[in-house]
Structure 1
Amino acid sequence: MGFEETRTRISGGRTVESDEGMPAAATTEWVGTPRPRRRAGLSIYSILLIMLLSVSVLSSIVVGVIGYVNGTQALRAIATEKLVEIRESRAREVTQLFDTIENSVKLAAMNETSKQAVVAFRDGFAALDGTSLDAQRAATVGAYYDDTFATQLSKATGEDVDGAAFAPKDDAARYVQANYVVPYDSWEEAILVDDAGDGSAWSAAHARYHDYFRAMTEQQQFEDVLMIDTQGNVVYTAYKGVDLGTNLLDGPYRLSNLADAYREAMSRNIVGEVVLADFAAYSPSLGNPAGWAVTPIAVDDEVVGALAIELPIDRINDVMTVSGQWARNGLGETGETYLVGRDGTMRSISRALKSEPEEYSRAAVAAGLAPDAAALSVQNGDTLLQQTILGSALSHAQSGKDGSVIQRDYLGRESITAYAPLGVGDLGWTIVAQETYDEAMAPVEDFTRNLILSTAGMIIFVCLLSLVLAQVFVRPLRRLKSAAQRIAAGEEGVQVDAGSSDELADVATAFNDMSRSLQAKSALIEQQEKANENLILSFMPEGMADRYKHGDEAITQDNEDVTVIFADIVGFEELALTLSSEEAVTKLNDLIRIFDEAAERYGVERVRTTRQSYVASVGLGTPRVDNARRAVEFALELNTILERYSVQQGVELGLRAGLDSGQVTSGLIGRARIVYDMWGDAVNLAYRVQGDYDEPGIYITQRVADRIPDTIVIEPAGEVVTKSGSQRVWRIQTHVPVTEG
């Protein structure tokens, strides 16, 4: 049967031939009842893809949630621990500051000068009782309080002030204020006056002791220093405020915190004990806050008065603001530390006020601070007694507890706050370290963003991995190809992942071994090249070495101003005869090494050495304007080295050196065996100078002598005859001290 006869078409279960005996189109028709179709199902590829995606997504979500929770808690704990550490550090600094202040007050009170001063001021003030001012000066004092002081105090506090209520009532107070307070426009001017020239005993005491207390005030940055007698009279102030001469027991400032501290210190009557007064508005300071440290002064065990210093606000602020270096001390962009008093107001400056006053005022008012208080803080440049602090942190600290909380701060920002009571006297202060929650937890946002991105990347990766799984089998070969290309490009130490234990892993291991071997050989070659370069540089200058390495054949260099040194070690040949060859070479190498070290110090360049000669130059490789001086000082140093060596070794070695300055040519001589040398008139003359004299010494030509300082003592040593004429030779006296250049 032929081929054509076998081509058929299936139709209705029968084989049907085409009209021309050719088979019909390649289609199949079912006639009658159709055959049932198979149910569609998921392929293994689809199931594997779903499984990979499900495991990946679910595991990523679980890991992400756990990581977010743990990360947030860990970062919060770290931020809190950091704030606690900063709080403790600032607390130690503040405590140390107040210890220093108390010790300063104690020492000042026990100082003999203070004892004599309080007695002198007390007696001088008492002597002024009954001394009346003339009508004009009395009117000047009254006008000062009515016009100047009342106006300034009213402007500072925003309240109406009656100046007469603060004016001095007794003669002594009016007298000292008329001479030391009223005449000056500012406290800075008043503190500079030593004597008003009125001839009173009080002025005499002031002229004698004021300089001491002024120095104490300025050097320790105290706001003021006061002396008070046992009757409550302020008999001295450094800055000469309106509290000078007033009485703290019945005067206008009897209700001030200074008066309270004075009464307590005097009632305790314990010498060496300091009473601290918390900050409060103080009228003589134009309503600005003032805190005090008061201690009694005793003479022969009898209390004769008290010393009071006004606490240094700037020093406290410097400690709490770490001198404005918040970020450098771990407080970031929003962190700060501050003090809070019993009344719930700040005892140190706010970072926000110090950095951006206008922004502070806006935020503080928005957070509930009275606009007048905010404006006054901006005006005075301090939040002391103005900024109110609220919240659980302050309540816990005032009850004696320490810890940390998350709460809104005084500017309305959610912050992590570390708090603790501050043990400074009986002030009852609280120390707070805080940082906004957003800044402290900023890494959480980065972590969350990275977590989301990594999860999305993982899902995409799994999808791609499922689609291109076949590529995994060629990936090791691609790594080997890439590594080979990197080695071909000159990279060293390239390693590839060996993978699992199969044939490709064996190839990768062999490749890694080859790479390490090439790296080791490259390192050896590089080491040898460095050794060769160092060897070349040891006997020729760097510039010539570069030309030599680049293949230049005729390498020379002309120098117009060079000082040449030919130095012989006199006596070494005799010494060598008593030694073995090895010992002689060892000793010579020791001397040459010491000479080379001296040459490096003086900027001298060694040209060559022989068994007992040392040839060097100054200004050959590196031009120097003082080459003659350096060469002479170097020769003197060589002479000192040989003298010292002779004493240490028990031998007799000396130096015979010749020096000349002038034109020198240097270069490389030879081909098979390269030699670096120099020649010229200066070289020849230096050699002649040292060779024509038998005695050890340092011989220099006139050209060298003309260029050395007068401190180097020289003496005539004869002449040498050259083609250009006779050259005068000088010998240097070697035991004259010379300053090393």
Structure 2
Amino acid sequence: MSLLRRRGGRIGLGVQSKVLIALLLVSVLSVLVTGSIGYVSGTNSLRSAEFKNMTQVRESRAREITQYFRTVSDAASIVTHGATTVNATRDFAAAYRELDATPPTPEDRDAVRRYYDTVFAPELSKQSGQPADPTLFVPNGNAAIALQNAYTVPAGGDFEKALTLRAAGPPDAWSEANDRYQRFFADLTTRFAFEDSLLIDTSGNVVYTAYKGADLGTNLFTGPYKATLLADSYRKALQATSVDQTFITDFERYPPAYDKPTLWVISPIGDGGAIQGVLALQLSIDGINDVMTGNREWEADGLGATGETYLAGPDRLMRSVSRRLLTDPQAFVGEVVDNGTPTEVAEREVAVKGSTLLQPVNTVAVDRALEGESGTVTDNDYIGPASLVSYMPLDIPGLNWVLVAKIDEDEALAPVNQFARNIALSTATIVLVVCILALLLSRMLTRPVARIADAVRRVRGGEVGVSIPVTTKDEFGDLAAEFNDMSESLRTKQELIDEQRREIDDLLATLMPETVAQRFRQGEQAIGGDHRDVSVIYAELLHFQDFARALSAEESVRTLNDLIEAFDAAAERHGIERVRNLHNGFLATCGLVVPRVDHASRTAAFAVDLVEVINVFNDRHDAELALRIGIDSGQVSSGLIGQRTRIYDLWGEAVDLAHRVHAATDRPGIFVSDRVHANLTALYTFTEEGRLAGPEGEEPVWSLRVPARSA
């Protein structure tokens, strides 16, 4: 058939020609438009996905570094309450006063002075890169000279050797105290990877250090380190309103650590209201770097070959190590110098193998984070190349730090360039194939197109799993196969959506009653209700922490889960509705979701079962766990609270009274309000335990006598 047709003396294109030309035009234009849209969409999608990944990495690192400081702060607070620390502070302070009252011999003074001239000052100069004047650091106090002559000088700057010294000095009270307590504080320091542990009395005297460094015996009010952040935070600790408070300092260059960037966690020492002294724990910079580098597993954390996370302070200097410095120090020097870092600073970073308080990070991301913002930006990084950056401020008390996660833009968007090349090659291939085959296939367009159109209509109508027979190996066959893949993908995605919906329903069932979950799924925002006659039980698990100290974290969690499962099984037997679990107990109701006339007796029977569960557990594990349970009946309110995070909660007079009844005494047992006692006197034996204030005056609290255990 000719491509040109003559009609009425005019030459025109035939239908086949028009179809061929239209097919060529549509095919070529479609591929070009699709490729352009795909390139732009792919670039934006990949950029968005990489920003999302950087944000996830940023949030993960923020949680890890915040938890690191929270753990250290909690450890410091716990240690300062212990009898060992309190007694050690008292003994060292008394021994220090005795030493300070005795002038040292000229030989002792000369020995200490020689140590600073020949050991301390040269090492400080070497580590800091600046000449050090030893006269600025030689102590003047009697006790400081005596202690450093007995412990610091013999160690010769070897901190590990000093850590093993227990009774190196003369047989005085301080040496006896050091012999008694050194093992404890050495274990504390090494176990938690601290750089040092200091005990400071209320007069500013450093009466003890684990490593017996140059700060031993000095005074933070008048001595050579009175202007340090350690001294500032020590003053704050003395003015603390509670011995539970902890204070964290920013990094500073601390001379006794040979000018190494030093960060302190400080907590008052005391076993009651009075502060006996202050504990200062010198944190390891390596611990912070391990968190921020993910133990150098950058690629496993999704940071590729160029990504990293780092900390920065208000001075726009790093508070952690640079990845590039660790992986390629020589390339690091050239890159940061080209980006504005002074050469001597970059070389200093290589020499000390660290970036803390050295590497400037004057970037848009750091500036915005220091202003309290969180977000993402494309900007040149401190190393130079344009990067995809995610930033946020950190919520660590005492520290104005920000966290930045970044990856080079070229690496992040490399798949887009490959995609563009593939689009160009695909376009050229498709144009060539269409030009050759369009003439032969023009007559076959109607049938496969109709078949595909019918299948598309079925999919559009909601049918899943639609499949087209692939009878040819041309473009229409490819289109049919692609459609089948798409249809199968839609079916798979629908199955995943259905599975996710089921999982969400299961999750909602664990967080709230089914009736509330149904209303929540239907879009209700303010869900609540009042319940007139409900029993509330508040149970607190006692002594579990003491029991769990001998267990690993996994064993502790597994044991606690076994207890919770036993509690839940007992609740299911008695028709008890759990509201929420606490870290050491739970809150539950009876008669809230399913109205019950016997809600009080069911709750009491449930409480008795809980006691039996604990008894069985104690027999099995040779433990001494116990429960303190409070029960009340009355009117309560319940509902979903919170906007971003939805929580099903319970409140009201009965909830408040159940908690107060449980807290009426500090011993374990089952304690009920007067209302519950009145309903259960025929079923159980009670004894009056005490009285508490109620809405109508004082009312008694009753202790339920648990039936004796059967053999």
Shorter-normalised TM range: 0.5 to 0.7
Aligned mate of 2:128, from 140, 157, 173: 157
Letter aligned with residue 70 of structure 2: D
Letter aligned with residue 363 of structure 1: E
Q: Is the 8 A contact 2:324 2:332 kept in 1?
A: yes
Per the alignment, in what secondary structure is the counterpart of residue 104 of structure 1? helix
Q: Is the 8 A contact 2:249 2:399 kept in 1?
A: yes
Aligned mate of 1:231, from 203, 216, 224: 203
Aligned to 2:88: 117
Distance 1:54 1:421 in 2: 54
Q: CA deviation at 1:46?
A: 6.3
Determine if the alignment matches structure 1 residue 219 to structure 2 residue 219: no
Q: CA deviation at 1:177?
A: 0.6
Q: Is the 8 A contact 2:82 2:271 kept in 1?
A: no
Per the alignment, in what secondary structure is the counterpart of residue 191 of structure 1? helix
Aligned mate of 1:325, from 270, 294, 297: 297
Distance 1:266 1:496 in 2: 80
Per the alignment, in what secondary structure is the counterpart of residue 308 of structure 1? strand
Aligned to 1:675: none
Aligned to 1:297: 269
Moved more, 297-306 or 161-170: 297-306
Give the alignment of 1:25-36 within 5 angstroms: none
Aligned mate of 2:111, from 133, 136, 140: 140
Distance 2:236 2:468 in 1: 82
Distance 1:454 1:250 in 2: 78
CA deviations 1:177-216 (Å, max 9, x no partner) are 1111111231111111111041121111111001101101
CA deviations 1:40-88 (Å, max 9, x no partner) are 9878776655443332222222111111111111111111111111111
Distance 1:472 1:238 in 2: 89
Q: CA deviation at 1:264?
A: 1.2
Per the alignment, in what secondary structure is the counterpart of residue 433 of structure 1? strand
Aligned mate of 1:87, from 51, 58, 74: 58
Q: TM-score, normalised by structure 1?
A: 0.57
Q: CA deviation at 1:436?
A: 1.0
Aligned to 1:433: 405
Per the alignment, in what secondary structure is the counterpart of residue 128 of structure 1? helix
Letter aligned with residue 189 of structure 1: K
- Alpha-carbon RMSD across the aligned residues, in angstroms, is 2.5
Distance 1:422 1:197 in 2: 45
Give the alignment of 1:19-58 within 5 angstroms: 49-58=20-29
Q: CA deviation at 1:153?
A: 1.3
Per the alignment, in what secondary structure is the counterpart of residue 307 of structure 1? strand
Aligned mate of 1:388, from 351, 357, 360: 360
Letter aligned with residue 164 of structure 1: T
CA deviations 1:347-369 (Å, max 9, x no partner) are 11111112222222221222111
Determine if the alignment matches structure 1 residue 466 to structure 2 residue 438: yes
CA deviations 1:481-531 (Å, max 9, x no partner) are xxxxxxxxxxxxxx994649xxxx9xxxxxxxxxxxxxxxxxxxxxxxxxx
Aligned to 1:642: none
Q: Is the 8 A contact 1:131 1:175 kept in 2?
A: no
Q: Is the 8 A contact 1:419 1:430 kept in 2?
A: yes
Per the alignment, in what secondary structure is the counterpart of residue 416 of structure 1? strand
Determine if the alignment matches structure 1 residue 447 to structure 2 residue 419: yes
Per the alignment, in what secondary structure is the counterpart of residue 386 of structure 1? coil
Aligned to 1:342: 314
Letter aligned with residue 62 of structure 2: A
Q: TM-score, normalised by structure 2?
A: 0.60
Q: Is the 8 A contact 1:241 1:284 kept in 2?
A: yes
Distance 2:471 2:182 in 1: 86
Aligned to 1:287: 259
Distance 2:226 2:77 in 1: 24
Distance 1:310 1:468 in 2: 82
Distance 2:470 2:117 in 1: 95
Q: Is the 8 A contact 1:147 1:163 kept in 2?
A: no
Q: CA deviation at 1:110?
A: 0.2
Q: Is the 8 A contact 2:363 2:382 kept in 1?
A: no
Query: Which structure has the larger Rg over C-alpha atoms?
Result: 1
Determine if the alignment matches structure 1 residue 367 to structure 2 residue 336: no
Uncovered stretches (5+) of structure 1, i.e. residues with no partner: 1-37, 477-494, 506-741
Distance 1:285 1:184 in 2: 15
Aligned mate of 1:200, from 156, 159, 172: 172
Aligned to 1:419: 391
Aligned mate of 1:407, from 379, 391, 402: 379
Greater relative contact order (Cα < 8 A, sep 6+): 2
CA deviations 1:122-162 (Å, max 9, x no partner) are 11111111434433332221111122211111222222211
Per the alignment, in what secondary structure is the counterpart of residue 270 of structure 2? strand
Letter aligned with residue 170 of structure 1: G
Distance 2:232 2:89 in 1: 20
CA deviations 1:320-340 (Å, max 9, x no partner) are 111111111111111111111
Uncovered stretches (5+) of structure 2, i.e. residues with no partner: 1-8, 449-466, 478-711
Q: CA deviation at 1:217?
A: 0.6
Aligned mate of 1:278, from 250, 254, 258: 250
Q: Is the 8 A contact 1:345 1:386 kept in 2?
A: yes
Distance 1:300 1:384 in 2: 38
Aligned mate of 1:61, from 14, 28, 32: 32
Letter aligned with residue 38 of structure 2: G
Per the alignment, in what secondary structure is the counterpart of residue 200 of structure 2? strand
Distance 1:250 1:129 in 2: 15
Q: Is the 8 A contact 1:125 1:172 kept in 2?
A: yes
CA deviations 1:269-303 (Å, max 9, x no partner) are 43110011111111111111111111111255322
Distance 1:206 1:257 in 2: 27
Aligned to 1:75: 46
Letter aligned with residue 71 of structure 1: G
Q: Is the 8 A contact 2:199 2:279 kept in 1?
A: yes
Give the alignment of 1:617-656 within 5 angstroms: none
CA deviations 1:350-390 (Å, max 9, x no partner) are 11112222222221222111222212221222111111112
Q: Is the 8 A contact 1:348 1:384 kept in 2?
A: yes
Q: Is the 8 A contact 1:297 1:306 kept in 2?
A: yes
Per the alignment, in what secondary structure is the counterpart of residue 241 of structure 1? coil
Percent identity of equivalent pairs: 41
Aligned to 2:703: none
Letter aligned with residue 121 of structure 2: A
Determine if the alignment matches structure 1 residue 260 to structure 2 residue 232: yes
Moved more, 162-171 or 123-132: 123-132
Q: Is the 8 A contact 1:269 1:303 kept in 2?
A: no
Aligned to 2:524: none
Determine if the alignment matches structure 1 residue 175 to structure 2 residue 146: yes
C-alpha distance 228-357 of structure 1, shift in aligned 2 (>3 A)? same
Per the alignment, in what secondary structure is the counterpart of residue 444 of structure 1? helix
Q: CA deviation at 1:426?
A: 2.4
Distance 2:15 2:271 in 1: 104
Q: Is the 8 A contact 2:240 2:268 kept in 1?
A: no
Distance 1:276 1:450 in 2: 54
Determine if the alignment matches structure 1 residue 315 to structure 2 residue 266: no
Between the two proteins, the alignment pairs up a number of residues equal to: 445
Q: Is the 8 A contact 1:129 1:171 kept in 2?
A: yes
Aligned to 2:630: none
C-alpha distance 66-496 of structure 1, shift in aligned 2 (>3 A)? closer
Q: Is the 8 A contact 2:200 2:277 kept in 1?
A: yes
Q: Is the 8 A contact 1:187 1:239 kept in 2?
A: yes
